[in-house]
Structure 1
Amino acid sequence: MEQIELQKLVEEISIESFGKPFLHEATFNNRLRTTGGRYHLKSHNLDFNLKILETFGKLEFIKVIKHELCHYHLHLARRGYQHKDSDFKQLLKQTGGTRFVQPLLTGDKTKKIWIYRCEKCKTTIYRQRRFNTNRFVCGKCKGKLFLEDF
């Protein structure tokens, strides 16, 4: 899908679902990683993640468009446009937009776990981040920690 097609699709959905025109710019943003779209408060433009369309198809992408259009129309009407606001939740339910986009799985699903062991009390410590064993000691006995080999 090209930028022109996206603009036309957003304008059509705005008229059909909200009964109001979309008067600003809709674009694809390749830098979006974890979100399906973004509404810009100052410029009123919308950004969308192309990977949502490629991964989950047009139906899920239309739900993301409706979500962002809820932010757009409510903000311009000076009503509650944030996720926590009841106006937003109600309009999202009426239009059939999605509250959360399905997660995009990038690369490896599992996180690396670093295993440290205390020399004195043999306590095993699991961490998601690696740390310098010269700066930290065991929390139980103040013994020296070392990184275990896999």
Structure 2
Amino acid sequence: MTDEQLQQLVCTVSNRFFQKAFVHEALFNKRLKTTGGRYLLSTHNIEVNPKSFELFGEEEVIQIIKHELCHYHLHIEGKGYQHRDRDFKELLKKVDAPRFCSSISNKLEGSEKKHLYTCSECGVSYRRKRRLNTEKYRCGKCLGKLIYKK
């Protein structure tokens, strides 16, 4: 999907679910890492993470667009556009938009825990993303020495 196709999709979703026009810019932003999309208050633009489209498909992107359009239309109208505001929660329900998108960080490769430590005393295993200093850290259960496995 290109930025032009995304722009067209956002305009279509806005007209269909909100009966209002989207007159600003929608584009993909590959610098987004942990979120599906965002609404920019200063420019009124909507940015979508391209990984959402790659991992979950067009249906998930439509859900993200609906969520961001809730922020957009409420902000333009001067109503409560933040996640905690009643106006925002009510509009989410009305258009059947999710409060949160599917987790991207769990799907990305390399996010699994790579390092395995085992206690020499009680045998408890610990998985960690980052290596730790076995001279400095001990087992949380029995204070035994940790041994690096892989």
Normalised to the residue count of structure 1, the TM-score between the two structures is 0.78
Q: Name the structure 2 match of 1:114.
A: 116
Q: Verify the 8 A CA contact 1:115 1:124 in the aligned structure 2.
A: no
Q: Verify the 8 A CA contact 2:52 2:61 in the aligned structure 1.
A: yes
Q: Name the structure 1 match of 2:44.
A: 44
Q: Name the structure 2 match of 1:131.
A: 132
CA distance in 1, matches of 2:139, 2:100: 41
Q: Verify the 8 A CA contact 2:29 2:47 in the aligned structure 1.
A: yes
Q: Determine whether 1:15 maps to 2:15.
A: yes
- The number of residue pairs the alignment matches comes to 146
Post-superposition offset of 1:69: 0.4
CA gap of 1:47–1:133, structure 2 versus 1, over 3 A, is same
CA gap of 1:92–1:135, structure 2 versus 1, over 3 A, is same
64-73 vs 123-132, which deviates more?
A: 123-132
CA distance in 2, matches of 1:98, 1:140: 40
What amino acid sits opposite 2:22 in the alignment? F
Q: Name the structure 2 match of 1:57.
A: 57
**Unaligned runs of at least 5 residues, structure 2:** none
CA distance in 2, matches of 1:94, 1:116: 51
Percent identical pairs in the alignment equals: 47
SS at match of 1:41: coil
CA distance in 2, matches of 1:63, 1:84: 19
Q: Name the structure 2 match of 1:85.
A: 85
Normalised to the residue count of structure 2, the TM-score between the two structures is 0.78
